[in-house]
Structure 1
Amino acid sequence: MRLLYNLGILGYGAAAGLMSLFNEKAGQWVNGRKGWKAYLRQKIAAGEKYIWIHCASLGEFEQGRPVIEEFGKSMPEYRILLTFFSPSGYEIRKNYPGADIVCYLPLDTPWNAASFVSIVSPSMAVFVKYEFWNNFIRVLNKKAIPLYLVSGIFRAGQHFFRWYGAFFRKILFRFSHIFVQDERSFKLLRGIGLQNVSLAGDTRFDRVVEIAGSAGEIPLLDNFRGGEKLFLAGSSWKPDEEIIARYVNRDPMKMKWVFAPHEIDESNIARLEALFSTTVVRFSRLTKENSGSRVLIIDNIGMLSSAYRYAFIAAIGGGFGKGIHNILEAACWGVPVMFGPNYTNFREAVDLIGRNGAACFRTFEEFSDLADRWLSDDDYYLKSSGTASDYVRQNAGATQVIMSKIRVK
């Protein structure tokens, strides 16, 4: 099985190289790894101690971020090496100030893993959520370097728990400790005999509570809202936007409307603007003079998490695609959230729907019914709002559970 795994890794690398000829992200993936040994040798400071954090992409980084920043506060004598597998994480966070070095993770071959660990010589490694690279884990284990998985989440159908999964189960047993998000994952790991596992929760709750506590005001957005209720569509995609725009056009005076699309290139912003039959302004062009427009499009990256504080209702995008984006950033402000049907792999969405702090819509009619009820039924709205904020705060604290158990070499 190990031979098959390594052949699969080499095949993946070859396929990425071929795709890089005509695909931009594949090109970033391949080119970003070129010269990685020389880069690390240049960046690693002699005599310094390093903690290595690895995240697959941007979403995993956000889950690992509270732990990274806690390392900076409580263990300042260690430097932070942050690696990414995906360009969507690296390209956005390559200048992240909480890490001393940021780079791509080399392809998981036996020789790359041995060279990487030899150059870095980390005092500890932390992988976030889904990362199970056999060769890197084997080398860390062989060198007795503590290795932790944080915000892990497991499902019964994964290969770890199947009859043919012995090879993959060995990977799990090489972790010094695994911190999982939910009881289901805890029971699955205990069921295969793994003892070094703790039910810590999801570190994203800690992150959104921190964001809410330090969020700055956005005076232009506050002025745009005025004394009206505000609807915010966060990380929206075309299917979400077309349903919501239909509702907006039916009665644009019902609320003020803000859209923060996931893609902010000019062609997508222009497409979104064209959906509305009422007045629209982009945030980059917003002034006190044109703040009477009914629809505002946020055409920047970085302000969405703070913008939710002004919302009365939020819709989170992605539910008509691969999966919903972060609903906790809105919920922590006590904002009821709605989203499309692809949410079942997101525990927080399932939990909030069960508690009436969130709702799912599949059609315009369902969206309309949900929005109308939150707007017209004060008692129902207040219960949903309180449920959303309480849920986030009740689930915070995973970072401290993790920090209380980790040890460096």
Structure 2
Amino acid sequence: MIILYNLSIFLMRAGLRLAALFHPKAKSFVTGRKGLLQKIQADYATNTAPVVWVHCASLGEFEQGRPVIEGLRKVFPKIRIVLTFFSPSGYDVRKHYQGADHVYYLPWDTAANAKRFVKAIKPTLAIFVKYEFWHHYTQALAANRTTILSISSIFRPDQLFFKPYGGFYRKILKRISHFFVQNDESLKLLKAIGLNHCTRSGDTRFDRVYQIVKQAEELPTIQNFKNHQKIFVVGSSWSEDIDVLIPLINENRMKFIIAPHEISEQNLISLERALQVKSIRYSQTTNINLEDFQVLIIDNVGMLSKLYRYGEFAFIGGAYGKGLHNILEAACYGVPIFFGNKNYTKFKEAVDLINRGGAFDVADYTDLKMKYEMVTLPESFLLACEVTRQYVEENLGATEKILTYCEATLRAKNTAA
């Protein structure tokens, strides 16, 4: 099996080198790793402080790891924190993140790379977020006697770890010192293969989005646009989402804020042409009276999490395509949430909120209109609001559980040293 594993890594590298000739993200993936190990070795050649290594696949996993990183920094200000990403979508956005001492791409998981990387940074503690399980890295970390944690992890019966032929992958899991999993099913699956060093902590994303809510500042332009009227916030929308929403927008007198996932000029023009009501882009709102505009189009990145506070309803995009985007930010503000009905079931919070009556999956415009009209009834609206708000509050605390373990580990190893 190790031959097949190494072959898969080799083929992935070769495929990305070829793709780099044509695709910007693939190019970033390849060029970002050139000379990387030499740089890491130079950065840590004279380091004597304890090192905590946090690895995330991409941006979503970073948001899960971020509360732990910042919690550790607060308690142990002198430790060095190394943050790595597998994909460009995470690295490119967070390469200047101030919470870590260094941010790198993860060198490819080969035996040589893993040994060089671990030898260079000598981590006391390694934290892998959610789905990241690498054979050579866990092997090198175990040889270094590094404590290895898997946090916000979630497991399903169809994964290789739990198949009769998944012995190789189960060995990777057995090197993990402790698992902090999101749900009871993951706990049962791990215990069924003899891994009892696990805790149901929940998902650190709840702590992160709740923190964002508490820190959110007032947005005067959005407040002026709202002007005491009801608002439907559409977050991370794709064209498939807009196709379903457009009839509701064009026939409804309520105001809408639309934050497209892709803000290219072509996409923005396409959206504006589809609208039959008065709309304006956020970048055009300076010194403009917004009272007569029904749709505000957000043509920037980074504002979405602050917008939901102004809404009475939310529609989250992505579920008609590759997958539903983050619904927890909207849930924190206690609003009814709508999304497509095709690709959301792997997101526990989406399934949970549907079952509780705080979220609604919609097949098309007719379905959206029916469920929207139902939830606008006063009793239904108040129930949905309370469900979403309470769901978030019930799931807070994962970060504290993980930090307690991390703190005990770092203090024990510091004493032993």
| Normalised TM-score (structure 2) | 0.96
Please say which of residues 223-232 and 242-251 is displaced more in the overlay: 242-251
Q: String of CA shifts for 1:313-337, please: whole Å, max 9, x gaps.
A: 0000011011101100000001111
Residues 1:401 and 2:401 aligned together: yes
Q: Retained in 2: the 8 A contact 1:319–1:339?
A: yes
Residues 1:172 and 2:173 aligned together: yes
Q: Secondary structure at the match of 1:339?
A: strand
Instruction: Give the distance between the partners of 1:281 and 1:373, measured in 2 at CA.
Output: 29
Tell me the equivalent position of 2:262.
Answer: 263
Please say which of residues 158-167 and 38-47 is displaced more in the overlay: 38-47
**What does 1:71-220 align with in structure 2 at a 5 Å threshold?**
71-220=72-221
Q: Retained in 1: the 8 A contact 2:122–2:144?
A: no
Residues 1:313 and 2:313 aligned together: yes
Tell me the equivalent position of 1:337.
Answer: 337
Q: Retained in 2: the 8 A contact 1:54–1:126?
A: yes
**What does 1:339-358 align with in structure 2 at a 5 Å threshold?**
339-341=339-341, 342-358=343-359
Tell me the equivalent position of 2:275.
Answer: 276
Residues 1:58 and 2:23 aligned together: no
Instruction: Give the distance between the partners of 1:365 and 1:77, measured in 2 at CA.
Output: 57
Which amino acid is the alignment partner of residue 96 of structure 1?
Y
Q: Secondary structure at the match of 1:9?
A: helix
Which structure 1 segments of 5+ residues have no match? none
Q: Secondary structure at the match of 1:404?
A: helix
Instruction: Give the distance between the partners of 1:94 and 1:372, measured in 2 at CA.
Output: 44
Which amino acid is the alignment partner of residue 140 of structure 1?
L
Which amino acid is the alignment partner of residue 67 of structure 1?
V
Instruction: Give the distance between the partners of 2:75 and 2:336, measured in 1 at CA.
Output: 35
Which structure 2 segments of 5+ residues have no match? none
Residue 27 of structure 1, CA deviation: 0.7
Residue 374 of structure 1, CA deviation: 2.4
Q: String of CA shifts for 1:141-196, please: whole Å, max 9, x gaps.
A: 11111110000000001000001001000100100101100000000000000011
Instruction: Give the distance between the partners of 1:285 and 1:167, measured in 2 at CA.
Output: 56
Residue 110 of structure 1, CA deviation: 0.4
Instruction: Give the distance between the partners of 2:264 and 2:227, measured in 1 at CA.
Output: 28
Which amino acid is the alignment partner of residue 60 of structure 2?
G
Q: String of CA shifts for 1:89-121, please: whole Å, max 9, x gaps.
A: 111111111111011001101000011111111
How many residues end up aligned between the 2 structures? 406
Tell me the equivalent position of 1:361.
Answer: 362
Which amino acid is the alignment partner of residue 303 of structure 1?
M
Residue 43 of structure 1, CA deviation: 2.7
Instruction: Give the distance between the partners of 1:71 and 1:404, measured in 2 at CA.
Output: 10
Residue 72 of structure 1, CA deviation: 1.1
Q: String of CA shifts for 1:363-409, please: whole Å, max 9, x gaps.
A: 1101111222223x011000000110000011000011111223134
Please say which of residues 102-111 and 30-39 is displaced more in the overlay: 30-39
Q: Secondary structure at the match of 1:51?
A: strand
Residue 301 of structure 1, CA deviation: 1.1
Tell me the equivalent position of 1:372.
Answer: 373
Residue 25 of structure 1, CA deviation: 0.9
Residue 42 of structure 1, CA deviation: 3.5
Tell me the equivalent position of 1:31.
Answer: 31
Instruction: Give the distance between the partners of 2:189 and 2:90, measured in 1 at CA.
Output: 29
Q: String of CA shifts for 1:201-248, please: whole Å, max 9, x gaps.
A: 000000111111111111110110112100000011111111111211
Residues 1:41 and 2:61 aligned together: no
Instruction: Give the distance between the partners of 2:287 and 2:346, measured in 1 at CA.
Output: 42
Q: Retained in 2: the 8 A contact 1:312–1:335?
A: yes
Q: Retained in 2: the 8 A contact 1:49–1:123?
A: yes
Instruction: Give the distance between the partners of 2:43 and 2:268, measured in 1 at CA.
Output: 39
Which amino acid is the alignment partner of residue 256 of structure 1?
K
| Normalised TM-score (structure 1) | 0.97
Please say which of residues 43-52 and 257-266 is displaced more in the overlay: 43-52
Q: Retained in 2: the 8 A contact 1:281–1:290?
A: no
Q: Secondary structure at the match of 1:274?
A: helix
Q: Retained in 1: the 8 A contact 2:37–2:107?
A: no
Instruction: Give the distance between the partners of 2:32 and 2:123, measured in 1 at CA.
Output: 22
Tell me the equivalent position of 2:392.
Answer: 392
Tell me the equivalent position of 1:233.
Answer: 234
Which amino acid is the alignment partner of residue 121 of structure 1?
K
The alignment's C-alpha RMSD in Å is 1.0
Residue 288 of structure 1, CA deviation: 5.2
Instruction: Give the distance between the partners of 1:49 and 1:265, measured in 2 at CA.
Output: 44
Instruction: Give the distance between the partners of 2:316 and 2:309, measured in 1 at CA.
Output: 14
Residues 1:328 and 2:328 aligned together: yes
Tell me the equivalent position of 1:381.
Answer: 381
Residue 41 of structure 1, CA deviation: 2.7
Q: Retained in 2: the 8 A contact 1:55–1:61?
A: yes
Instruction: Give the distance between the partners of 2:97 and 2:335, measured in 1 at CA.
Output: 29
Counterparts in 2 of 1:271 and 1:67: CA distance versus 1, 3 Å? same
Q: Retained in 1: the 8 A contact 2:118–2:144?
A: no
Residue 264 of structure 1, CA deviation: 1.2
Please say which of residues 74-83 and 180-189 is displaced more in the overlay: 74-83
Q: Secondary structure at the match of 2:405?
A: coil
Q: Secondary structure at the match of 1:379?
A: helix
Residue 88 of structure 1, CA deviation: 0.6
Tell me the equivalent position of 1:286.
Answer: 285
